[in-house]
A and B are shown apart, each in its own frame.
Chain A
Amino acid sequence: MDPQRSTVDSPRRRRLLKAAAASGLLAAVQRNLALAQAAPDYRALVCINLAGGNDGENMLIPYDSVGYQAYAAVRTPQSGINIPQAQLQPIQPASLATPFGFHPACAPLKALFDQKKLAVVANAGTLVQPSTRAGLETQGAPRPANLFSHSDQTLAVHSADVAGFTRTGWGGRIADGLDPANGGVLFPPLITLAGMMTFVAGRTSIPLSVPSGQGFTLHNSGGGNPFQFDALREAALRQIIAQSRSNIYEDVAQMLGEEGLAASSVVYPILQNRSSPAALFFAQLDSDIARQLQTAAQLIEARAQTELKRQVFFVQQGSYDTHGNQAADQGRLLGELSQAIQAFQSALTALGLANNVTTFTLSEFGRTWKPASNAGTDHGWGNYHFVIGDAVRGGDFYGKQPTRALNGPDDLGGDGRWIPSTSIEQYGATLARWFGIADADLPYIFPNLGAFANTNLGFMG
């Protein structure tokens, strides 16, 4: 025995590296057995996090004259955030009596709504339990910790834990249980294109972090000949990381790095595929959210390489924290978002997977219905969320709309922060069921689900 050599057993390292060498097909000893229990079809969930708190009340606006007048009476033209009625993209939700209008930049989303491929979930947000204004204001009913705080509410929405003590996300907890469905394939089922946000952190699973756009491991340096520079540095980095080290901590750090790079070696050729049909749908778009969704589309397109049957993707767009200059900022973001979603859906349709992939939005909170100074809005609470895909029962609104009145029954505080009527758990559980999660497994993912009676909002077919 060499006292100087560390003795870290790394079967995972051996497996992954060997597998990466074998043309990207990841092999596990029990794989053949496990494949027998694998899911028969392919399904993916794509989470779009609208970071900063999207102002849903300017994304969907009452279009009937009474509703719009009420809107314009509060969100006046003078406030700077008013959207004129003539610019709205009207839709008629199947179960509502009156129409609504999408923000003008959301024309592609109106199209999807009309094709019944987009569903709207109204007034969803973080809740400890079903809540009323009286309960919250005067009866000391429990509320999520640190409402209106970006970090706390982002954490709450991502972790489905309003007490703020959990640092795993419900996306990660979904991934924790995907091993059987994926037939024991080693490739991580959860991919984030927007960094290590709480949503993707699992208890037992480790997400794969893929930067969107060209290249994998290292970001561009910019200027000069960045690709050659990157290749040179990456080659040197890979060489160093493969050099043997006797310090046990160095050895483990290298092993983890090599695993990350090994997984990326499967992903990198996928992203470099210039003849990817899916990528073509994004050719005219150059926003960040488009790049992320393009990457997700290419990874879904190449799912045969990873042999995964169940995948979760996380992308993010922001900042939606429009305290000022909302008209321009939110308008730009909604335009980029809508076009990116449209391209994504078209790509999925071309791949024959539009029925197999469901995209949904999250945002840490809505915003005050009452405008704030500087042509903006402040942090709110309940918000619209959107679900897109052919498996969605689209063309309709789900959940209960708030009474849009300052100091009304659903307003906490008087500035139009809507007390949600649907919780994040109810929203997520509906998605998780479609994804194939058994009812018995839902409490692991949504520990507080039991506080709510209706755990299937019905927007999935």
Chain B
Amino acid sequence: MRSRGQLQACFGHMSGMCRVALPAILALCAIGPARADLGTAIEFYNPQLNHYFITAFPEEAAALDAGTPIQGWVRTGGQFSVFTAPADGLSPVCRFVGTPGLGISSHFYTADAGECAIVRTMPAWTFEAIAFYIPTPINGNCGTNWPVYRSYYTDQIADANHRFTVDLTAYVRMTQRRGDIPEGVVMCAPLSPAEIDADIVRLGEQATMGPTEAFVSEVRGKGAAAWVDEQLQMNLTRYTQPGWYEPQTTMEAMLCINDTTPPITPEKFCDTNKKEPFPVAWEFFRQAKTAPDQLRLRMAHVWHQIFVVSLLSRTYAWAEFEQRLRDGAFGSFENLLVSYALSPQLGAFQNWVRNIPEHDGIRPNENFAREVMQLMTIGVNELNEDGTPRLDANGQLVPTYGQADIQTFARVLTGFTFPSQPGKPLDFWGAQQYFIGDMIPFDEFHDQGVKVALNGRLYLGPGGGAMADVRAALKVLVDHPNTPPFISKQLIQKTVTSSPTPGYVARVAAVFKDNGAGVRGDLAAVTRAILLDPEARGARKIDPEYGRLREPVLFWTAMIRGLDVATDGLAPQIMVGGSLQELFAPPTVFSYYPADFTLSGGTVPGPEFGIFTTAEFVNRANGVNNLLYNRDGPWFWWTDAWGPQGFVPNATGTPSPTLEAFMPDAANPDVLVERMNRLFLHGTMKPDMRQTIVTAVTKLAAPSQAQRRVKMAVNLTLVSADYQVQK
């Protein structure tokens, strides 16, 4: 019977490197058939020549790495699997080199037999070898294999070079980076088991609260699409709704005085920590660890940052509000927007609860009227379908709304009040506020006039009812052509990459517009489109402008899941607060960090860097350190979170993980670091980083320092910029 440790030593399938080094472990592997016929086409780049080169010959790659005899070529990180022997359904790929003195200094590859035959007759090209064997596309389609794109660069004089890549983002950007002409899909790369697993880890980074080895096993069996479809059907995890405590006196109702007589139970909602949002945040982290409906949790966390509410108390209603986002994550965008807009939490946060028509020179509050347009539907400037800004004839940005539009929308947003407290009569101006359930419309407090806005997109006749008017106005925003690209781009940025190509945005926006069955705003379809897009999927992404910095919340949930940390939620809640992402309390309606934050004041989008300060790198390093070692040095009340605390229900603290899954590999640094590479970096660990970590781990004596070795490897991997950036 193979031990769990031994099986997990075979996580994924051994790459060629490990196969050479560890035949004994390979013998234990029963996961996946041996693919002795698969090789890897590795991409190199020469900065002097500005040329790309691929080779599937390991000796040639090693020679280029060594710089002997030829210097100047560095690996790009790009690679794809190829077959190393002929077989049915495979095309041999002819490799040519420019004939010295006659042709250009470049290589040429083709999988097309006819093309190969023709080029063989050209004196300017010398046939070198069959580079590898590979399927070719049928009508541009690769089926379950991965498209290999080719782009062509020429200076029109004497220089030309092709680039072959499976990375669609990199391919699309070759035009702007080198002036390449895109030539389409020319080959279809098979996927090695390691590549399949790597893409699953990436899917976990994009679509869950953090990948685990169990998640990889699960998806390996069914494939990404099937997993996504299953997840879209699940709605299982609910926040605990605390009970309602009836204040006993007027003063108590006003002050919500704490009842701290033990035992402190959930029913005493005015208990100290029931006024804070902390209990819901603790539950968030506990559920992130174990909930089966990971995609819904992940997307609700995204929606929380778009449909923002930031109140620091009223916990009894906070869980209900967050549950709206979970419940609506895969429904219609319009329903989610309405659910958000009618929440009393939002009503109070954005000051439109008890908004009434103009009186005594006081106009209705414009806060939500402005923000719902600026941040949640159409944005400030007109957009093309691909998310790029539309420019007018003079090359200027075109605003989507003006002050008059805001004022008109503010007039629409009138006449709603808090739901009544249980057992109390409903009263528009009632002294007591209640935050559970939708706000209640009162037509007599609603602006009954004609409302025209957004160049007539909004037209509401006189005498409209409050609810009908509000719903109609929100629908106008949903139907606005800006909304699909504006929302789609943000969703991509919060799951896959901070800088999506216009093509990616356009493809997703198209699904937002119409899910294929004529429905607009189908968030299940949109979510699916984002995750299954070829710019999201793939074993490794090498475009320099791809990926996103892990925000503190997801940095911590990924560690909790990936390291199998038992937590009652307190420590991660405190840690993310120290990283400027205090969960459920974004500083303003602009969320934890601005959606349009760019790197170094430039033009590359990097929203999460808005809260990544010079100290944050060290802050995260210390956080990982604390998690792994539960530092028992200086004690701050708010960082003393690692042990069980009395004010946390069912407190268990967050003790250091045992890391038992990795302990069997402690004796062999190479294997241990490769485990880190597989689970945390989906196979992309750079050789220099690998060497540094292996060297450091080796310096600790085995077996006495076995656990320290494992912690060292985990620590260095998780703290690296390579891990901080999810790509």
Interface residues of A (CB under 8 A from B): 1-6, 8-10, 51-52, 137, 145-152, 155, 164-167, 194-196, 201, 206-209, 211-213, 217-222, 224, 229, 232-233, 235-237, 239-241, 243, 245-254, 256-257, 259-261, 263-264, 288, 291-292, 316, 318-319, 321, 323-324, 372-374, 376, 378-379, 412-415
| Contact of A209 with B619 in the complex, beta carbons under 8 Å | yes
A229 vs B707: C-alpha distance when bound (angstroms): 13
Q: Which residues on A sit within 8 Å (CB–CB) of B260?
A: 323-324, 372-374, 376, 378
CB B439 to nearest CB in A, in angstroms, measures 20
Q: Which residues on B sit within 8 Å (CB–CB) of A256?
A: 609, 612-614, 616-617
CB A23 to nearest CB in B, in angstroms, measures 21
A248 vs B711: C-alpha distance when bound (angstroms): 28
**Can you name 12 A-B pairs with beta carbons within 8 Å?**
A9-B600, A148-B255, A151-B585, A209-B618, A221-B711, A240-B716, A247-B547, A249-B547, A249-B606, A253-B609, A261-B618, A378-B258
Find B636's partner among A164, A222, A259, A316 (CB 8 Å cutoff). Answer: A316
A292 vs B635: C-alpha distance when bound (angstroms): 11
Q: Which 8 interchain pairs have the tightest Cβ spacing? A: A257-B617, A319-B637, A167-B587, A318-B637, A3-B177, A209-B615, A236-B696, A260-B614
Known: A6-B544, A149-B276, A243-B689. A321 touches B721 (CB 8 A): no
> Per-residue CB proximity of B544-557 to A under 8 Å, as 1/0?
11111100000000
A291 vs B634: C-alpha distance when bound (angstroms): 8
Known: A152-B313, A166-B587, A232-B696. A219 touches B606 (CB 8 A): no
| Contact of B580 with A201 in the complex, beta carbons under 8 Å | yes
A316 vs B640: C-alpha distance when bound (angstroms): 13
A241 vs B712: C-alpha distance when bound (angstroms): 16
> Per-residue CB proximity of B429-468 to A under 8 Å, as 1/0?
0000000000000000000000000000000000000000
Q: Which residues on A sit within 8 Å (CB–CB) of B254?
A: 137, 413
Tell me, yes or no, whether B130 is within 8 Å of chain A by CB: no
CB B51 to nearest CB in A, in angstroms, measures 11
A263 vs B614: C-alpha distance when bound (angstroms): 9
| Contact of A247 with B272 in the complex, beta carbons under 8 Å | no
| Contact of A10 with B621 in the complex, beta carbons under 8 Å | no
Query: Chain B interface: which size bin?
Result: 35 or more
Q: Which residues on A sit within 8 Å (CB–CB) of B272?
A: 150, 323, 379
A1 vs B629: C-alpha distance when bound (angstroms): 45
CB A366 to nearest CB in B, in angstroms, measures 15
CB B171 to nearest CB in A, in angstroms, measures 12
Q: Which residues on B sit within 8 Å (CB–CB) of A221?
A: 625, 628-629, 631, 708, 711
A135 vs B582: C-alpha distance when bound (angstroms): 34
Q: Which residues on A sit within 8 Å (CB–CB) of B174?
A: 3
Nearest chain-B residue to A239 (Cβ)? Answer: B692
Tell me, yes or no, whether B248 is within 8 Å of chain A by CB: no
CB B647 to nearest CB in A, in angstroms, measures 9
| Contact of A220 with B547 in the complex, beta carbons under 8 Å | no
Q: Which residues on A sit within 8 Å (CB–CB) of B258?
A: 148, 378-379
Find B699's partner among A220, A232, A323 (CB 8 Å cutoff). Answer: A232
A233 vs B696: C-alpha distance when bound (angstroms): 7
Q: Which residues on B sit within 8 Å (CB–CB) of A206?
A: 613-615
Nearest chain-B residue to A288 (Cβ)? Answer: B634
Most B CB within 10 A of own CB, among A219, A249, A372:
A249
| Contact of B549 with A224 in the complex, beta carbons under 8 Å | no
Q: Give residues of chain B (413-438) contacting chain A, Cβ–Cβ below 8 Å.
A: none
Tell me, yes or no, whether B686 is within 8 Å of chain A by CB: yes
Nearest chain-B residue to A229 (Cβ)? Answer: B708
Known: A4-B76, A253-B724, A260-B615. A247 touches B261 (CB 8 A): no
Q: Which residues on B sit within 8 Å (CB–CB) of A220?
A: 629, 631, 633
A262 vs B633: C-alpha distance when bound (angstroms): 25
Nearest chain-A residue to B314 (Cβ)? Answer: A146
Q: Which residues on B sit within 8 Å (CB–CB) of A5?
A: 47, 544
Q: Which residues on A sit within 8 Å (CB–CB) of B141?
A: none
CB B144 to nearest CB in A, in angstroms, measures 28
Nearest chain-A residue to B273 (Cβ)? Answer: A150
